[in-house]
Amino acid sequence: MIETPNVDWLALSPTLALLGASGVALLTAVLVPAWMRKGVAASAALVGFVLAAVLAGVVFDESATPEALLAESMVRDRLAALAQVILAVTGAVVVLASWAERRRDWHSEYYALLAAAGAGMVFFVGAENLMTLFLGLEWFSLCLYVLVALDTDRATSLEAGLKYVIVGGFGSAVLLFGSALVFGATGELGFSQIAAAGAGNDAFLVAGLAMILAGLAFKVSAAPFHMWTPDVYQGAPTSVTAFMSAATKTAAMVVTLRILLTAFPEEREIWTVAVAVIACVSLVWGNLAALAQRDVKRLLAYSSISHAGFLLIAVSAASERGGEALLYYLVPYSAMSVGAFAIVAARERELDRPVTLEGLAGLGWERPLYGVALWVFMLGFAGFPLTGGFFGKLFVFSAAYDAGDWWLVLVGVAATAVSLAYYLNVVRWLYMRTPPAAPMVAVGGSPPSDPALGVAVGAAVFVTVASFFAAQPILDLASDAAASLPF
């Protein structure tokens, strides 16, 4: 009789739910008549994401102590579960926000790939060895490559897809090479086994660590590994950008934190400095470049690079408080990011052209709810009080100060000051500029109302504001999750 490994189905259930949803969505392309294809595929994806969120919540509840799965290739712990909840909720909101997006008739493919990318990320955050790490990374990356290029009518979308494939492929290759070096130095693939092998400051191990870090930095779009971000964020269909900016960053950040702490605890003194340097470069580069942007999607892309910097400050603290800060920050950040891109998507449909700052002129008065929402997101990105972005920054700064990196606090504060210039510039265009003489709105009257997008934006605003007032409950969850890592 063949011995079968003991499979913990509950721990895998979020991934399986999304894979199932992806399969159903894909089948609609052949089994469902064209007129109801979009509805069925979108509902399948929505159900998949919601189910995954619920199942991940159950896993969170039942995994007080970390447990290795599937021959120690995966781990079931609260860190993974919390990240899965964030990812799945983000995905659900994106499904709502992308309902009215124009795409030829590739609705089934779009929702199938979105759910599959979600499944890949949900799998990725539970990785506990270098093989599953790479597998998860490629899994969601391949889906995203296609999603970015899905809008085949637009040359920019195809260009973005190509750029993402090449640069993303390069990033993956670097990560893979790094993994090989680490395996060469220790003879182990599992994270905790790598740590236990105790290779010390072996040159191969350190080189491998550096390359793994670089490969992950590509995915979190931290400078100087960010070159693809502005082009891809600008060219991709806006709902895909929304998903990437929030979900890819969440997944890659959580995995970065996990692999650095579990696999390389002895090299802590090396990687804390390396991560701090990457964080500073991201903060400086992201903020300065954002100042010069006219296209709102590019502006938000550079803003997301600078936010990678803030998140990496929390990683470089390498403390329980840093882990909590990171996980807390991801909640309002994901909400603000998805919400902001959703509003850009709405405006894009209205104008039928890419949204520049000029394109936002008067939006605040024409559409008060979107206006107020975008205002809230910008204030949140800038770290103003009354949004979760404020506590995110506060927790990150206090973690850094606690770890003795007071200079990182000063860099973060200076970066925030610079970022105000472009975030408040968006608010200025919303409310303080009149639209140019020629009407910006495309001919043909106002666009059809889009209640799904309204719900998505409303949910994002709610999370952004509620995470300020209810900071402690979220911080408790974050601290439970962070407790599953060996600090």
Partner 1 sequence: MTTALILLPLAGALVVAVLPLPRTTTAGLAFFVALMEVGLWIVAASRFDFDDGGLQLGTSQEWVESLGISYSVGFYGFSLWLVGATVVVSAAAIGYAMWVGRDRPRAYHALMLFLTGAVVATFASQDLLLFYVSFEAMLIPLYVLVGVWGGARRVAATLTFVVYTMAGSLLMLASVVAFGVTQGTFSLLDSGTSDNMWIFLGFAVAFAVKAPLFPFHGWLPLAYREAPVEVAAVLSAVVSKTAIFGFLRIGLPKFPEPVDDLTVVILVLAGAGLVYGSVLAFRAPDLRGIVAYSSLAQMGLITLGVFALNDLGLDGAVLQSVAHALVSATMFLLAGMVERRCGSGDLDTLGGMAQGRPVLATVLLTAGIIALAVPGSATFAGEFLIMAGVYDEGWGYAAIVALGIVLAAMYVLRLISAVLHVRPGSAVREEALDLRPGELALVLPLVGCLLALSAWPALVSQSSFPSDEPQQAISRSLR
Q: In terms of CB distance, is 36 or 410 closer to partner 1?
A: 410
Q: Tell me, what DSSP letter sits at residue 71?
A: T
The CB-of-425 to partner 1 minimum distance in angstroms stands at 9
CA distance 451 to 344: 15
| Listed ranges 1-9, 47-55, 218-226, 419-427: which one lies at the site for partner 1 (CB under 8 A) | 419-427
Q: Which of 131, 424, 452, 465 binds partner 1 (CB under 8 A)?
A: 424
**Position 379 contacts partner 1 (CB under 8 A):** yes
The CB-of-53 to partner 1 minimum distance in angstroms stands at 25
**Position 409 contacts partner 1 (CB under 8 A):** yes
**Position 421 contacts partner 1 (CB under 8 A):** yes
* Angle between helical axes of 296-317 and 228-235 (0-180°, round to 10): 130
Radius of gyration of the chain from Cα atoms?
21
| Listed ranges 37-45, 71-79, 206-214, 379-387: which one lies at the site for partner 1 (CB under 8 A) | 379-387
Q: In terms of CB distance, is 120 or 364 closer to partner 1?
A: 364
Which phi and psi (to 5°) does residue 243 adopt? -65, -45
- Ramachandran area for residue 352 (φ above 0: left; ψ -120 to 50: alpha; else beta): left
Q: Which of 385, 436, 451, 486 binds partner 1 (CB under 8 A)?
A: 385
Tokens representing residue 342 in the block: 């959703």
Q: In terms of CB distance, is 61 or 476 closer to partner 1?
A: 476
Amino acid present at 47: V
Q: Which of 117, 391, 405, 457 binds partner 1 (CB under 8 A)?
A: 391
**Position 410 contacts partner 1 (CB under 8 A):** yes
Q: In terms of CB distance, is 52 or 471 closer to partner 1?
A: 471
Question: Per-residue contact track with partner 1, 319 to 348, x per CB under 8 A?
Answer: -----x------------------------
* # chain residues binding partner 1, by CB under 8 A: 34
Tokens representing residue 117 in the block: 């990318």
The CB-of-19 to partner 1 minimum distance in angstroms stands at 37
CA distance 115 to 87: 11
Q: Which of 242, 328, 415 lies closest to 423, judged by CA?
A: 415
Whether 53 and 89 have beta carbons less than 8 Å apart is answered as yes
* Beta carbons within 10 angstroms of residue 454's beta carbon: 17
Question: Per-residue contact track with partner 1, 347 to 366, x per CB under 8 A?
Answer: ------------------x-
Name, in order, each residue with C-beta under 8 angstroms of 309's C-beta and a sequence gap of 6 or more: 222, 223, 278, 279, 280, 281, 282, 283, 286, 412, 415
Whether 377 and 370 have beta carbons less than 8 Å apart is answered as no
Which residues is 67 bridged to in the sheet? 76
Q: Which of 152, 413, 436, 451 binds partner 1 (CB under 8 A)?
A: 413
Q: Interface with partner 1 by CB under 8 A: which residues? A: 324, 365, 379, 384-386, 390-391, 393-395, 397-398, 401-402, 406, 409-410, 413-414, 416-417, 420-421, 424, 427-428, 431-432, 471-472, 475-476, 479
